[in-house]
Chains A and B, each alone.
Chain A
Amino acid sequence: MSETFTKAMARNIFYGGAVFFFLLFIALTFDTVQTLPKRDHRENITDSVVRGKHIWETRDCVGCHTILGEGAYFAPELGNVYKRRGGDFIKAWIKSQPTGAPGRRQMPQFNLTDEQLDDLVSFLKWTSEINTNNWPPNIEG
């Protein structure tokens, strides 16, 4: 590199560039937060959905499953599971775990009450209605 390219110049580019792009990021975030209500249908977030998310978190579901593609890749995507399987199947499935089939992946038994199961289903139903730009590519997730 040339001698005219000084450390001070490189430092200025670093500070200038970081501030510039962070401001741009904040501006885009501001726009996103303004736009989100049209995409996430937050008017449908009932108390049941809120409780359902809490159950989702406290059972560490994301440690095996993905939701909207984020999480572990050990078990199926659940962002669209409501559309794939429907609420009754989901509840019956959770209640019947673990399958105990030898050598197969096992899901723990979480001993959820009927009310908790309903909450979890309403959370998954609300999640399946988020506008995700048509992801996943098909119903299998």
Chain B
Amino acid sequence: MQYKSQAVAKPYFIAAIGLFVGQILFGLIMGYQYVVGDFLFPAIPFNVARMVHTNLLIVWTLFAFMGAGYYLIPEEAETELFSPKLAIIMFWIFLVAGALTIVGYLAVPYATLARMTGNDILATMGREFLEQPLPTKVGIVIVALAFLFNISLTVLKGRKTSISLVLLLGLWGLAVFFLFSFYNPSNLVLDKYFWWWTVHLWVEGVWELILGAMLAFVLIKITGVDREVIEKWLYVIIAMTLITGIIGTGHHYFWIGAPEYWQWFGSVFSALEPIPFFMMTVFAFNMVNRRRREHPNKAATLWALGTGVMSFLGAGVWGFMHTLAPVNFYTHGTQITAAHGHMAFFGAYAMVNLTMISYAMPMLRGRSANSRSAQTLEMWSFWLMTVSMVFITLFLTAAGILQIWLQRMGSNPMSFMDTQDQVMLFYWLREIAGLVFFVGLVLYIWSFFYKKGEAHIAA
């Protein structure tokens, strides 16, 4: 840690990991409800568990992004943060607002929560991933703006590197496209069309800029490769991301009432979307192979390489698999989508966050890396989480293929619920893989507290 104010990143990272645990716990609850339907009913119905699962994912990712911003911006700008105090205040506001939202989901029926929080004044709730009550949504905007204000001013008064510019651009895009979550027309088609401006332009657009900037930062630090080289790659990758990804939004417009031509635009451009992910994998391995120093933090290197591979598999390969309109006609809204969603989100965003945390947390605790045995533990957690996520994806894919076969093909299709009974075996296997994932996550957290063996590696 070179600048004192980088320390504000620490609570953000800790909160991120805490919420990540919550996300996985609720994921396990849902996975069990898939096989034992009345589990925890009516205390936690499936829709509530899912809301908590997906919203925690978004919130912990935002916490990690902000932590990453607070950690890397001072170091890139070579100056102290504009206002560490603002960063801490915003941390508590965001944490309390996030916690209250989750409590609200769990404590009162959703319709009551909607009435209590002014959904009748401006209805924005009840849409996938954007279930947050109005005050929470407004809170996210305020926190995001305060954060952007803070880091933008830091960059303005310091050195302006490409990494910070790309990160800023991604984060500003995140804030801007979130504004579409306040637009909820009563026409479902328009609602869905612009809902994707938040959801798709986030995860397949501006978030990839953030991802690229974070990965580039960590790679510069751990490989010591020339900044010019890494930043050039960064630009090429994110250029390909936006060139393919913006029109690639069209792959969501096939069957929601939008004109037919989106089948062509969406198919062609999203078929090219794996290219930037493939380049990212090549980039990560290339940089590590050309390294000019042996950074003691081997675990962070492993996470960085893992991000490249898993985001390519999850977002690139599993995305391509069902993105062409004639294929998507059958796969749309099945377990195939769930399979892709899990591996893509874990491979791209969860893993880049863990990469950043794995690199930065030892620094924030005053050492350049954890002890060897702690790192070995962390690498075990890497493999457990990654491999079980691969299995979750494979089981969901198998369930999806069977589901499509029984429910959507052939002259005598089965009903949805009858089909679900037929694929139960895969849901059981998915839940087991989920438990292994949870073990990996526990090991990950344990590795931070692991004291046995030799001393930590000094800064």
Known: A6-B232, A140-B413. A62 touches B254 (CB 8 A): no
Q: Does A86 contact B (CB under 8 A)?
A: no
Mark the stretch among B74-82, B96-104, B256-264 that contacts chain A. B256-264
| Minimum Cβ distance to chain A for residue B423 (Å) | 11
Task: Please report which residues of chain A, range 50-79, place their CB below 8 angstroms from some CB of chain B when the two chains form the complex.
Answer: 50, 53-54, 56-64, 66-77
Nearest residue in B to A65 (C-beta to C-beta)?
Answer: B47
| Minimum Cβ distance to chain A for residue B220 (Å) | 14
Q: Report the separation of the CA atoms of residues A77 and B333 in the bound assembly, to the nearest whole angstrom.
A: 8
Q: Report the separation of the CA atoms of residues A105 and B418 in the bound assembly, to the nearest whole angstrom.
A: 12
Q: Does A138 contact B (CB under 8 A)?
A: yes
Q: Report the separation of the CA atoms of residues A137 and B417 in the bound assembly, to the nearest whole angstrom.
A: 17
- Cβ contact within 8 Å between A57 and B125: yes
Task: Please report which residues of chain B, range 111-158, place their CB below 8 angstroms from some CB of chain A when the two chains form the complex.
Answer: 111, 114-115, 119, 123, 125-128, 131
Chain B residues lying within 8 Å of A29, measured Cβ to Cβ, are 193
- Cβ contact within 8 Å between A133 and B260: yes
Q: Report the separation of the CA atoms of residues A91 and B262 in the bound assembly, to the nearest whole angstrom.
A: 35
Task: Please report which residues of chain A, range 17-36, place their CB below 8 angstroms from some CB of chain B when the two chains form the complex.
Answer: 17-18, 20-22, 24-25, 28-29, 31-33, 35-36
| Minimum Cβ distance to chain B for residue A49 (Å) | 7
**Inter-chain contact total with CB atoms closer than 8 Å:** 226
- Cβ contact within 8 Å between B246 and A18: yes
Nearest residue in A to B41 (C-beta to C-beta)?
Answer: A106
Q: Does B190 contact A (CB under 8 A)?
A: yes
Task: Please report which residues of chain B, range 253-304, place their CB below 8 angstroms from some CB of chain A when the two chains form the complex.
Answer: 253-263, 265
Q: Does more than half of chain B's interface fall in helix, strand or loop, or is it mixed?
A: helix
- Cβ contact within 8 Å between B38 and A104: yes
Q: Report the separation of the CA atoms of residues A103 and B333 in the bound assembly, to the nearest whole angstrom.
A: 24
User: Chain B contact residues (Cβ within 8 angstroms of A): what range?
Assistant: 35 or more
- Cβ contact within 8 Å between B257 and A131: yes
Q: Report the separation of the CA atoms of residues A6 and B417 in the bound assembly, to the nearest whole angstrom.
A: 57
List 29 A-B residue pairs with CB atoms under 8 Å apart, sorted by A's residue number. Answer: A7-B162, A11-B235, A13-B236, A14-B239, A17-B239, A24-B246, A32-B258, A35-B259, A36-B187, A36-B189, A36-B259, A40-B187, A53-B186, A53-B188, A58-B110, A58-B125, A62-B127, A63-B45, A69-B256, A72-B128, A75-B416, A77-B333, A100-B38, A106-B37, A108-B45, A131-B257, A135-B255, A137-B330, A141-B333
- Could you tell me which B residues sit within 8 Å of A by CB distance? 30, 33-34, 36-38, 41-42, 45-48, 50-51, 110-111, 114-115, 119, 123, 125-128, 131, 162, 184, 186-190, 192-193, 228, 231-233, 235-236, 238-239, 242-243, 246-247, 249-250, 253-263, 265, 329-330, 332-335, 337-338, 407-409, 413-417, 420
Beyond contacts A24-B247, A63-B45, A137-B329: 17 other A-B pairs, Cβ-Cβ < 8 A, are A13-B235, A25-B249, A28-B261, A35-B259, A40-B189, A58-B111, A58-B126, A62-B127, A63-B131, A76-B415, A98-B41, A105-B46, A110-B111, A132-B256, A133-B260, A135-B255, A140-B408
- Could you tell me which A residues sit within 8 Å of B by CB distance? 1, 5-7, 10-11, 13-14, 17-18, 20-22, 24-25, 28-29, 31-33, 35-36, 39-40, 42, 45, 49-50, 53-54, 56-64, 66-77, 98, 100-108, 110, 126-127, 130-133, 135-141
